[in-house]
Amino acid sequence: MIDQDFIDELLAKHEYLSLISYEDCLTLSCIRDHWVDFASYLSLEETFDLLVDLTAIDHGEDAEVRFSVVCHYYSRVHHDYIRVHVECASNENPEILSLSSVYPSADWHERETFDMFGIRFTNHPNMKRILMWDEYPYFPLRKEFPLAGIDTPLPAPDVVEVTEASVEPAPMMGGPFVSSGSGPMSDSEPRAKDESWTEKSEKPV
């Protein structure tokens, strides 16, 4: 179990860390150059041997540092989580070192983050898209990408000719969708901001 003594010792030992919060779980900010070193320390020295999740945050085009990567580690000894937040280099071409040499499970997480946010993980063994096709020109989880999507030609004209498939913006049906972000999970699930229209009734003028 993580307690205040554990946190104090961790921060004293690693000057490149700073405490963000300790509410739902211990959340730390790590200087980019020590990102992989700290991951290795957590895995080998503190028994946080499971990388549960790795994703990113787009803070918006006007942010001083637009992109950051967030990951969650779990220890089967401490039975607790640590969340680590690190800022990416460059707003135009964001990148950060891969954790795949420390946690092999980072492989697909990093590929998905690259696919959705355009953050490149250097030293990754196979840095390519995992959901969208390689030539897809957008990063769907960036702030500027519309919720409904963008009409985009499919990469295989022969398939389109046979199937008549296409990539089209989705009807929002009352969206965008918002979440309260607090209270029981059943109450905080996303709800349509405008619930006055659905698939079966037209949007009011």
User: pLDDT tens across 151-201, in order?
Assistant: 888 878 887 888 888 777 766 655 556 666 566 655 666 666 555 555 566
Using the CB atoms, write b or e for 3-27: b if 16+ within 10 Å. eeeebeebeeebeebeeeeeeeebb
The pairs formed by 9-18 with CB atoms below 8 angstroms and a separation of 24 or more are 10/46, 14/38, 14/41
Full domain range(s) for residue 104:
4-131
pLDDT by residue (tens digit) across 8-51?
999 999 999 999 999 889 999 999 999 999 999 999 999 999 99
- What is the rounded CA–CA span in Å between residue 72 and residue 74? 7
Distance of CA 16 to the CA centre of its chain: 22
In a domain, 55, yes or no: yes
Q: How many domains does the chain have?
A: 1
In a domain, 161, yes or no: no
Higher pLDDT, 124 or 185: 124
The answer to whether 191 and 179 are in contact (CB under 8 A) is yes
At residue 167, the pLDDT reads: 78
- CA torsion angle 33 36 40 41 (round to 10): 30
| Entry pTM | 0.81
In a domain, 203, yes or no: no
Asked if residue 171 has a cis previous peptide bond (ω within 30° of 0), the answer is no
Question: CA 87, 89, 91 angle in degrees (round to 5)?
Answer: 95
Average of per-residue pLDDT values in the chain? 87
Count of beta carbons in the 10 Å neighbourhood of residue 57: 16
In a domain, 162, yes or no: no
At residue 190, the pLDDT reads: 60
Q: What is the CATH number of the domain that holds 104?
A: 3.30.460.80
In a domain, 175, yes or no: no
In a domain, 172, yes or no: no
In a domain, 98, yes or no: yes
At residue 103, the pLDDT reads: 97
In a domain, 35, yes or no: yes
Q: Which residues pair with 27 in a beta bridge?
A: 21, 83
At residue 49, the pLDDT reads: 94
pLDDT by residue (tens digit) across 53-99?
999 999 999 999 999 999 999 999 989 999 999 999 999 999 999 99
